[in-house]
A = this chain, B = another copy of it.
Amino acid sequence: MVANIINMTSTKFVEENKDRLIEELKEFLKIKSVSADPAFAGDVQACAGFVENSLKKAGVAHTEICETDGHPIVYGEHIVDEKLPTVLVYGHYDVQPADPVELWDSDPFDPVIRSTETHPEGAIFARGACDDKGQVFMHVKAAEFMIKEGKLPCNLKFMIEGEEEVGSTNLGIFVKENVEKLKADVILVSDTSIIANDVPSITVGLRGLSYMEVEVTGPNRDLHSGIYGGAVANPINILCKMIASLQDDRNKITIPGFYDKVMDVSAEERAEMGRAPFDLEDYKSDLNIDDVHGEEGYTTNERASIRPTLDVNGIWGGYTGEGAKTVLPSKAYAKISMRLVPNQEWEEVSKLFQEHFERIAPKSVKVKVTPHHGGQGAVIPTNFAAYQAASKAMETTFGKKPIPERSGGSIPIIALFEEVLGLKSVLFGFGLASDLIHSPNEHYGLFNYFKGIETIPLFYENYAQLKE
């Protein structure tokens, strides 16, 4: 009954260190590690230093900052015994941009604790609180507990990157160049969510991503809409027509070949998904919408997980200030991303998009299509030791067996880990879908943060036992 002893102890560790665990996470959250914006490059660098230092303080024997062509990767290694199994913990210390900043109730980089309906015991509000600093820090603190108590039953490696929010391009290169260094038995990632604080779950599917930027150019300069309007193609009108044509009346994506490799999900699996707790009225009321909107023939949960999508993430062009300006602009832009399902190749889809978008442009405009980044989707099996160790750990701390769940989000690097390192991942996230990641007022429940620190040590214990 080793697991139970450790559980009591990790619980006690949390109980006795609550204030310190919160204060240390706050320091982490104060650093503006926005990877997408070059203006924050110095903050991202400083954040890598903070992570390395935290690993050192946790007692991790070897740490280093690995420079890349972009933001650095923090690497750590704590080898208990070469014969024991090795867990590679992956996470990211970079965060999404905070804008629109004016919609935050508090400074996104000055963490504060407030209670919410979902988090009556309090949640910490800051950009990156849940995605992914709070979840990375659970691993640092779980390691600290296990190392200092001398209870670590396996070897640990850490790979915490700074470019997850911009496509992990340099991590991909790093992984390919460091196959020996990264040798392990499994990868453990906390960058996903559970269904609810009383409905634990483990993510077993991720969508892939293809992210494009398009530029439509009409005339070579901004024109007066009175003098030229009606006679010269307006790039905004044309861009709207082009975007509108990408989805038909049934909300199917019209790019030729787009669905060719989509793997259909069996009726059994869809039936099982349908049994997960979900209330459409609650869903609509939480978002204040009168109706959902998606691909014909699929439920809301299916649309958001097992089906591919196309969303405009940003659009701009012409006059966007106060008042009225009668301009016929020279250019219009959009950022368009597609979520992909397992078997769709993201690079192939990006190419299909580009060719299609160029083909449908009328002769009156010029278009430029630039792929941003992308990644493969993934399906995680539930019948291997690491999944079972994670499931058992959650069952102990939550008192309920977690539900295997397919998520609509993307962690493109998961497919690359499997391809390059031959390693499966366990998606051991503790966030909630309502934590407003990527939105103003992102937060992370203290319940979830502490629960993670309690549960991770049990995973190590269970995993070591199962691998014996």
Cβ A227 vs Cβ B407 within 8 A: yes
Q: A218-B289, A234-B311, A328-B313 are in contact. Are A225 and B339 (CB under 8 A)?
A: yes
Q: Which residues of B contact A277 (CB under 8 A)?
A: none
Instruction: State A211–B437 Cα separation when bound (angstroms).
Output: 37
What string of 1s and 0s marks CB contacts (under 8 Å) between A207-242 and chain B? 101010100001111111111111111101111110
Q: Which residues of B contact A236 (CB under 8 A)?
A: 243, 311-315, 334
Instruction: State A337–B323 Cα separation when bound (angstroms).
Output: 12
Instruction: State A339–B365 Cα separation when bound (angstroms).
Output: 22
> How close is A60's CB to chain B, nearest CB, in angstroms?
31
A364 within 8 A of B: yes
Partner of A316, one of B38, B211, B315: B315
Cβ A166 vs Cβ B323 within 8 A: yes
Cβ B304 vs Cβ A230 within 8 A: yes
A83 within 8 A of B: no
Cβ B324 vs Cβ A224 within 8 A: no
Q: A239-B240, A324-B211, A325-B36 are in contact. Are A230 and B363 (CB under 8 A)?
A: no
A59 within 8 A of B: no
Partner of A232, one of B231, B289, B439: B289
Cβ B233 vs Cβ A243 within 8 A: no
Instruction: State A224–B339 Cα separation when bound (angstroms).
Output: 12
Instruction: State A291–B364 Cα separation when bound (angstroms).
Output: 4
A317 within 8 A of B: yes
Q: Which residues of B contact A289 (CB under 8 A)?
A: 218-220, 232-233, 364-365
Q: Which residues of B contact A318 (CB under 8 A)?
A: 312-315, 335
Q: Which residues of B contact A334 (CB under 8 A)?
A: 236
A244 within 8 A of B: yes
Identify the closest chain B residue to A222 (Cβ). Answer: B439
Q: A211-B326, A221-B436, A439-B224 are in contact. Are A314 and B317 (CB under 8 A)?
A: yes
A327 within 8 A of B: yes
Q: Which residues of B contact A244 (CB under 8 A)?
A: 237, 240-241, 243-245
Instruction: State A241–B293 Cα separation when bound (angstroms).
Output: 14
Instruction: State A336–B334 Cα separation when bound (angstroms).
Output: 18
Cβ B311 vs Cβ A320 within 8 A: no
The B-contacting residues of A in range 356-387, CB under 8 angstroms, are: 362-366, 372-373
Identify the closest chain B residue to A207 (Cβ). Answer: B226
> How close is A164's CB to chain B, nearest CB, in angstroms?
11
Cβ A438 vs Cβ B327 within 8 A: yes
> How close is A328's CB to chain B, nearest CB, in angstroms?
6
